[in-house]
Structure 1
Amino acid sequence: MRLEILPVPGIGHVTEGDDLAVLIGSAAPWLRDGDVLVVTSKIISKAEGRLVDVPADGPDRQAARDRVLAAETARVVASRGATRIVQTHHGFVMASAGIDASNVDKTRLVLLPEDPDASARALRAGLRERYGVNVAIIVSDTMGRPWRNGLTDVALGVAGMDAIRDHRGEVDPYGNELVLTQMAVVDELAGAGELIKGKCDQMPVAVIRGYLTPPLTEDGEGARVLVRDASMDLFSLGTAEARAAGMAAAATLPDRPGDTAPDPAVVDQAIASVADAIAPGTVFTQVTDDEARRALTAIVPGWPTDATALVLCSPPTPVGPVQLVRFGTDVQRLRTALAAVDVPAQLLPPPNGTTAAATLAL
């Protein structure tokens, strides 16, 4: 495969209501079937009127920007100082919801296109109707990456090609079947187009030639297939936000045992993890001997029939009111440590005739 990346100069300043198909087609009469146009989302937003008026500077400008950001945000993923990483209503996870103040008058902010896939389809249809060319459109914007420094362009909207090339089921030269490999080819092409477009060169469109042979007749599913559902995202929160969510969850732990028997080694690890945080003399003992556990559970008031493991919780001696309060805190520390490794626990009274002050049923 041989690829060419071609600039499209001469598009000029884009304003609300401009026909991008005419602007691009006039600037690139050399377009041919199968070309992939990488179009900066900003000129689409400008043509579609996705701009907001704000003060040119000062605290009022920041306050206005904050209001716009809140309106464009579906949920906050992470924040550090003035930086906000959010999920937009499209599903994209981006800094500041993709709101941009570059290459626009200082009294305006540019928002992302409302529906980048629809914008790509409309531009593709316009070029086909006016100039008779069957091209693919990638609406691109710049994003950061969670594991690497630096930015790159990615696809927000797509029409005329598949967003993902699925290699699953293929066999590599060594005879290994590929089971996970799905390449986001439109992101790769968006990044390639950015090499030509740049950020300060007023070159909002690049053409990639040689990738599509032949071009698709249909628009395809668009870039929405690239958006990972938050429930499947292993990094759906920032570190501080995940910690805060965990601490909030620790305050509302369900008081019940788990549905399956916990691994004794995992329970011991949870006990060890709080050893340096609990009061001296507080002892947590996991009872692993089957006969001893059966004898103790028989005399624990309210022992749940579905519980399969037991931890005895003993406070330091002598124990007074202050020490008992601290002991309760330490028991909650252990319940939180157990919950962190998916071991729910129910707090119960101690077995009669023991030195324990509480029991955890697991």
Structure 2
Amino acid sequence: MKSISIIGIEGLPIIYPGDDLPKLIMDACEKENIIIENGDILVVTQKIISKSESCLVDLNTITPSNLAKKWAIEWDRDPRLIELVFQKSKRISKMQNGVLLTETEHGFYCINAGIDLSNVSGDNMATYLPIDSDKSAFNIRNSIKKSLGIDTAIIVTDTWGRPWRFGVTNVAIGLSGMSPFRDYRGLSDANGMDLKASVIAVVDELAAASELVMNKLDNIPVCLVKGYKFVPDEGSINDLIRPPEQDLFR
């Protein structure tokens, strides 16, 4: 019987800038009697990576531009936050009904450039996305390999909305040690039909499934996936970003 298990790793402390995040993850696993094995996948929320990598901004240090002030007044928003979104965006895709849809410096399309005020100590503190989530994932993977002699894959996640559908879902924004895809092209289905367009974004599927365990309330920012046979590879999140000439929506 095919099955995978997703285990929430509890007991991590509040993360602060400069913390050794891989060690804290390994310590929490040991405390909870969770054994990390070769071929496992660790799924890590970007929030704790952003905190450990000092991707934090005190909004009191932000001077809003005239555009940020104008837009904030129109939609009853914090002009400092709007200005920070502008600063962390490569392009503003849409400003409508109080929503800022932006293209980030990484090439992601998301609300408010991924800037978040939740689960951050301090009334005026905001987190922004890690500078290089692939590198963040590699550093976690490499530290675990050096400490435990175990080769895992790492997925870094964030929570985004989707066009045409209500509700948000976790998606991958960084990875290390695995291909982001399962490519079925050239294979045959159960009826012998050749598959020509079936390339599954497995890192996004694993990211979404992990949120069922981690969620937003239980302080479980990391989970361990066991039993999924991924394709080992030095994949990058950039492999998932569709180039502009192939994108129907930007």
Among 85, 107, 117, which residue is 1:91 paired with? 107
Q: Does 1:223 align with 2:237?
A: yes
Among 126, 136, 140, which residue is 1:119 paired with? 136
Distance 1:132 1:212 in 2: 19
Among 153, 156, 161, which residue is 1:144 paired with? 161
- Alignment match, 1:46: 51
How is 1:279-358 mapped onto 2 (pairs within 5 angstroms)? Answer: none
Structure 2: unaligned runs, 5 residues or longer: 62-68
Q: Which amino acid aligns with 2:5?
A: E
Kindly state the Cα deviation for residue 42 of structure 1 after the two structures are TM-superposed.
Answer: 0.5
How is 1:250-265 mapped onto 2 (pairs within 5 angstroms)? Answer: none
- Alignment match, 1:35: 40
Distance 1:17 1:212 in 2: 33
Distance 1:145 1:95 in 2: 10
- Alignment match, 1:72: 88
What CA deviation, in whole Å up to 9, does each residue of 1:203-258 have, x standing for no partner?
A: 10011100037x73x5x12211111112211011xxxxxxxxxxxxxxxxxxxxxx
Distance 1:111 1:22 in 2: 23
Whether the 8 Å CA contact 1:36–1:212 is kept in 2: the answer is: no
- Alignment match, 2:65: none
SS at match of 1:38: strand
SS at match of 1:97: helix
Identity in percent: 39
- Alignment match, 2:98: 82
Distance 2:135 2:220 in 1: 22
- Alignment match, 2:26: 25
Kindly state the Cα deviation for residue 34 of structure 1 after the two structures are TM-superposed.
Answer: 1.1
Distance 1:107 1:195 in 2: 29
Q: Does 1:183 align with 2:200?
A: yes
Among 204, 209, 212, which residue is 2:229 paired with? 212
- Alignment match, 1:109: 126
Distance 1:114 1:209 in 2: 28
What CA deviation, in whole Å up to 9, does each residue of 1:112-159 have, x standing for no partner?
A: 000010110011001111122211100000011112111100000011
Whether the 8 Å CA contact 1:21–1:126 is kept in 2: the answer is: yes
Runs of 4+ in 1 over 3 A off after TM superposition: none
SS at match of 1:137: strand
Whether the 8 Å CA contact 1:25–1:131 is kept in 2: the answer is: no
What CA deviation, in whole Å up to 9, does each residue of 1:84-138 have, x standing for no partner?
A: 1111111111011110000002221000000010110011001111122211100
CA RMSD of superposed structures (Å): 1.7
SS at match of 1:123: helix
Kindly state the Cα deviation for residue 74 of structure 1 after the two structures are TM-superposed.
Answer: 1.1
- Alignment match, 2:188: 171
Kindly state the Cα deviation for residue 180 of structure 1 after the two structures are TM-superposed.
Answer: 1.2
Which of structures 1 and 2 has the larger relative contact order (alpha carbons within 8 angstroms, sep 6+)?
A: 2
**TM-score (normalised: structure 2):** 0.88
Distance 1:83 1:24 in 2: 35
Q: Which amino acid aligns with 1:18?
A: D
- Alignment match, 2:66: none
Kindly state the Cα deviation for residue 175 of structure 1 after the two structures are TM-superposed.
Answer: 2.3
Q: Which amino acid aligns with 2:180?
A: A
Among 164, 171, 182, which residue is 1:154 paired with? 171
What CA deviation, in whole Å up to 9, does each residue of 1:310-344 have, x standing for no partner?
A: xxxxxxxxxxxxxxxxxxxxxxxxxxxxxxxxxxx
Kindly state the Cα deviation for residue 24 of structure 1 after the two structures are TM-superposed.
Answer: 0.2
Q: Which amino acid aligns with 1:181?
A: S
Structure 1: unaligned runs, 5 residues or longer: 237-362
Q: How many residues align?
A: 231
Q: Which amino acid aligns with 1:47?
A: S
Q: Which amino acid aligns with 1:43?
A: I
SS at match of 2:78: helix
Distance 2:58 2:161 in 1: 26
Distance 2:49 2:39 in 1: 21
Distance 1:139 1:126 in 2: 15
Q: Which amino acid aligns with 2:218?
A: D
Q: Which amino acid aligns with 1:142?
A: T
